[in-house]
Amino acid sequence: MDLLPAWQQNMWERLMRDGTLRSHALLLKGRPGIGKYLFAHMLAKSLLCATPDTRSFACGQCVGCNWFEQHSHPNFALIVPDALAVILISQTSDAYRSTEASAVSSSDQSAKQRTGQQITVDQIRGLNDFVYLTGHQAGYKIVLIYPAETMNTAASNALLKKLEEPPENTLFILVSHQSQRLLPTIRSRCLQIAMPAPDIEMAIEWMLQRWPQRTETGRQIDAQQRDKQQYAHKLLALSGFSPFTALSLLDAIEQHQQFIEAVSTRARFDPLALAGAMQKQELTVTIDWLQKWCYDLTGFLADKRVRYHPDLQARIQSVCQQINLQACLGYLQFLNARQPLSRHPVNPRLFLEEIFIQYGRLLASESSVPEFDE
């Protein structure tokens, strides 16, 4: 499987061929979710590789490549908002899948992350030693700034100064979803590259190649393949035709299905295992799912109303046969009270365990109504 998406290959070859890289600053621009970050990342790695292959891709084996993969290359600086740094570092092995999508959806994430959503002037000033002192073995240095439009005004001005007096042997790669938000003076000092977006067919093919492997039994391979195709089309449309974003939606949808599966079967409900399974996900998202689920349980018990999970009516009905409306209301109240704490939990795992242990009591509320401490 080729690492570079098909729709980027011509661009890659063009860049490698026509000497564009002698420029001291590039601006890769285009809509979110089409793989710009991946492209910039591969470009940086290839330029720092001692023995790139015939198509100029990094070898993946030299010392430079090793450093790069360990995030410790002395000649590479990645400048991203704090909130994004966490996501990028945690995705090292699979940066391909959802890096851009995470960046795109980060505005929906917790308050904790909102505080670090800008690139600050300190981050840009912190580059001084890096760009103006001699690098490792006097080699080429690369600064990757992503997403460039998140630089605040002071940071933009500090970068502008550097672009006005470009340090030697240094390439700035700016990646932007909204390049019109950059200072015009920054834009004009960069070689601007409009990153290609895939057509639908290419996007679907790319998604299907990366579709998570699952073992499904009792169904024909052809039928599975047809389902996937349809599903891929649906997600692609949902994502505004950005395949990276579409795949990350798939992750969330699958996770959501597993979550629903877990919370709707009393016999197999295991609060500790569920807390373990959900701890990779943003805590506020999990609480949101649970609130919506309990809201529907309550609505169904009160007057057969289902708002958030219209396709799961039958399942909701079967859960509701085992629980009590008053307990459901009590649990919802408990959840609502806990929800603000989910933004700053002392221990996320314990927080989830407590929430699910209490939910387990709700699932057994047919015979006696539990009280939930708020």
Q: Interface residues with Zn ion (CB under 5 A)?
A: 49, 58-59, 62, 65
Distances (CA, A) of 177 to 29, 101, 174, 222: 6, 11, 10, 38
Q: Cβ(187)–Cβ(29) under 8 Å?
A: no
DSSP annotation of 25: E
Which two tokens mark 241? 């035709």
Residue pointed to by tokens 């990757």: 144
Minimum gap (Å) between residue 69 Cβ and Zn ion: 10
- In the complex with Zn ion, the residue whose CB is nearer, 41 or 187, is 41
Minimum CB separation of residue 2 from Zn ion in Å reads 17
Asked if 171 and 15 count as a contact pair (C-beta separation under 8 A), the reply is: no
Instruction: Report, in Å, the least distance between residue 139 CB and Zn ion.
Output: 13
Nearer to Zn ion by Cβ, of 54 and 321: the residue is 54
To the nearest whole angstrom, how small is the minimum distance from the Cβ of residue 53 to Zn ion? 9
Nearer to Zn ion, 63 or 357 (CB): 63
Between 63 and 200, name the residue whose CB sits nearer to Zn ion. Answer: 63
Sign of torsion over alpha carbons 332, 333, 334, 338:
positive
Residue 210 CA to residue 97 CA, distance in Å, equals 8
Q: How far is the CB of 57 from Zn ion (least distance, A)?
A: 9
**For residues 65 and 278, which CB has a smaller minimum distance to Zn ion in the complex?**
65
As a whole number of angstroms, the distance between CA 275 and CA 354 comes to 9
Which residues are within 8 A (CB) of 275 and not within 5 positions of it... i.e. 6 or more apart?
Answer: 349, 352, 353, 355, 356
> In whole angstroms, what is the distance from residue 184 CA to residue 195 CA?
19
Check if the beta carbon of residue 170 is closer than 8 Å to that of residue 131. yes
Q: What amino acid is encoded at 357 in this protein?
A: I
C-alpha distance across the termini of the chain, in Å:
52
Q: What angle do CA 237, 238, 243 make, to 5 degrees?
A: 65
Q: Which residue's CB is nearer to Zn ion, number 39 or number 68?
A: 68
Q: What is the 3-state secondary structure (H, E, C) of 353-371?
A: HHHHHHHHHHHCCCCCCCC
Please state the closest distance from residue 50 (CB atom) to Zn ion, in A.
Answer: 5
Residue whose CB is less far from Zn ion, 46 or 242: 46
Nearer CB in complex with Zn ion: 75/106 = 75
Nearest distance in Å: CB 167, Zn ion: 24
Residue 42, CA distances (Å) to 36, 46, 351, 358 in order = 10, 6, 39, 47
For Zn ion, which residue has the nearest CB?
A: 49
Q: Where are the alpha helices (DSSP H) in 20-110?
A: 36-48, 63-69, 82-90, 95-105
Nearest distance in Å: CB 23, Zn ion: 23
Cβ-based nearer residue to Zn ion, 44 or 104: 44
CB of 76 to Zn ion, least distance (A): 13
- In the complex with Zn ion, the residue whose CB is nearer, 65 or 195, is 65
Least separation in angstroms between residue 96's CB and Zn ion is 18
